[in-house]
Amino acid sequence: NPGRKINVILGGGRREFMPYNVPDPETGVGGKRRDGKNLIDTWKKSKVGEKAEYVWNKNQFDKINATETDYLLGLFSYDHLDYVMDMDDTKDPTLPEMAKKAIEILSKNPKGYFLFIEGGRIDHAHHSTKAQKALVETIAMDSAVQTCSDLTDASDTLILVTADHAHVMTIAGYPQRGNPILGFAGISDVDDMPYTTLSYANGPGYKHPDDNGDRYDMTNDNLENAEYTQMTSVPLL
């Protein structure tokens, strides 16, 4: 019931709103719901007579006139939204773009508003020990915060930025100033092999030692690959 009063909902996860026998407009795959409910249709019906719009791609999103819209539901992916490094920004809006549209709609309320924004894929990338993707997602979140700051007045707006939990990513010592954050920190004086600036205590990036027990040699690894998984101390899925 509280959800019916939310003015702006933007993100991914269309499959959670659709029945299994209703094909997704983008992928053609059926939804995940087994209760027969189509929550997208339910939302539309609940907004009959209101200035409400449902969109699922950037073209539709860009056409939304905030001054003429009081309710907006945007579901831009069948599953989670793509990582920034994987997304096609001609098909899906970015986090800063969604933040901007939300503020344009919500700021019409003379009583003010509460807006919650999550950079949820930062967490996903860290769980996968894909540091580059996690950092790029963090930059997108930072841009969204800047967008909010630019569109609001500090005299009557409180912006809080926080994390609900941390991860086990570590910055090693002692990389020189200016050293690429995704690169090698140096050569170990114990085994004469390189180690990266960023690593994780646990995760799927664990690299098994050689048969002779020596530490995995990362010398020829492509550290710039977006899918590269940083070294971890303990294997964990």
Structure tokens at 197: 């600036």
118 is in an annotated binding site: yes
Per the annotation, does 165 bind a ligand?
yes
**For 47-197, where are the alpha helices, taking DSSP H only?**
58-62, 95-106, 121-127, 131-151
Please list the alpha-helical segments (H only) found in the chain: 39-46, 58-62, 95-106, 121-127, 131-151
Integer angstrom CA distances of residue 213 from 6, 187, 191: 57, 18, 11
Q: Which of 89, 44, 80 is nearest to 62 (CA)?
A: 89
80 among the known binding-site residues? no
Distance of alpha carbon 150 from the chain centroid: 21
As separate numbers, helices (DSSP H) first and strands (DSSP E) second, the chain gives: 5, 8
> Known binder of ligand: residue 127?
yes
Q: Which residues are annotated as a binding site?
A: 118, 123, 127, 164-165
Residues annotated within the binding site for Zn(2+) are 123, 127, 164-165
Binding-site members for Mg(2+) are 118
